[in-house]
Structure 1
């Protein structure tokens, strides 16, 4: 797995949505491939807890494949893989704790993956990507809301977007600290991608 930068998984799905958004502007039936720019990507997450400030973190290592069909957004596809050990909350000791079996269990489950199953265009600047998130060996459906920052069409060389979603960690047997640590984990991804 090649490495780059990213936050909780699901990020690749977002780019998919961009294609969706630009579908109304495109005239080509061609499916185009896009590469996420690691230098312009941030994959972050936020978790609430009782008795301490919100915990903010990110993932640094990832790879993804994105194919966008501007005439038929539903035919677009995204797959994404994140190295669980690349989790970073700004504290080496806390990072190491998150890598244990209490949370990500990176020794047994080194990869977090997302594969899109559906892309819905909401309007010319918003889309929704639904896909399967696999974490700790468990696969659950996840919905990502995408806001387009840079328009995408047949002639575009770059696209940009912001993606958000909520991951229910208990569904992935990540039970440590509950209920003091929230079940809901907010995912926030901002990125730009370049045509290949």
Structure 2
């Protein structure tokens, strides 16, 4: 009997910190995942992805325990015209026929301010995985979110096209591509 009680207490102690971690999903109707490319500082191309999924295990009190995973359907890209969509989805860029998804998986989450986080992780595009750092900022009230309300946020990170073999022969845009996410998390 004493051994059973000790096992239950041990299980509660071990489960205690994890209880602060809550699973969230990116709200599809209220979130935009997009990219921005520039040439000499001027915006050259932008677009967004219509289909994506994201699961976040967030611990607001101990962000280092948080885990994030986002998957994007590359074929859902919309860049404003059929010509641009076809080019970016084509073989020299995303090659959506061979690589239908891109993904991000966090490796470390660090608080950088009252409402901001640095999220280091792995970005995979065209089956090539490289490290990336994303900055995220909570735009809503965390206490309200803990009570079940949606949590507005925005995040951004930058990667280099050559690292993912994207458009090696393309010279009309700089190598840097900015990823921008503005949206809401819900349970």
Normalised by the length of structure 2, the TM-score is: 0.82
**What is the match of residue 30 of structure 1?**
20
**What is the match of residue 76 of structure 1?**
66
Cα 1:53–1:193 shift into 2, 3 Å:
closer
**What is the match of residue 113 of structure 1?**
103
Could you tell me which runs of 5 or more consecutive residues in structure 1 were left unpaired when the two chains were aligned. 1-26
Give the 4+ runs in structure 1 shifted more than 4 A: none
Larger RCO of the pair (alpha carbons < 8 Å, separation 6+): 1
Residue pair 1:29, 1:71 contacting (<8 A) in 2 also: no
The farther-off stretch of 100-109 and 178-187 is: 178-187
Residue pair 2:31, 2:183 contacting (<8 A) in 1 also: yes
Count of residue pairs brought into register by the alignment:
168
Q: SS state of the match for residue 90, structure 2?
A: coil
**What is the match of residue 169 of structure 1?**
161
Answer yes or no: is 1:93 the counterpart of 2:60.
no
Looking at structure 1, the residues matched to 52 and 108 of structure 2 have their Cα atoms a distance apart, in angstroms, of: 22
Normalised by the length of structure 1, the TM-score is: 0.79
Question: Which of the numbers 81, 105, 121 marks the counterpart of 1:131?
Answer: 121
Indicate the structure with greater helix content. Answer: 2
How far has the Cα of 1:125 moved from its partner?
1.6
Q: SS state of the match for residue 123, structure 1?
A: coil
> Aligned-residue CA RMSD in angstroms?
2.0
**What is the match of residue 180 of structure 1?**
172
Structure of larger gyration radius: 2
Could you tell me which runs of 5 or more consecutive residues in structure 2 were left unpaired when the two chains were aligned. 1-16
Question: Which of the numbers 12, 37, 45 marks the counterpart of 1:47?
Answer: 37
How far has the Cα of 1:137 moved from its partner?
0.9
Residue pair 2:64, 2:109 contacting (<8 A) in 1 also: yes
**What is the match of residue 189 of structure 1?**
181
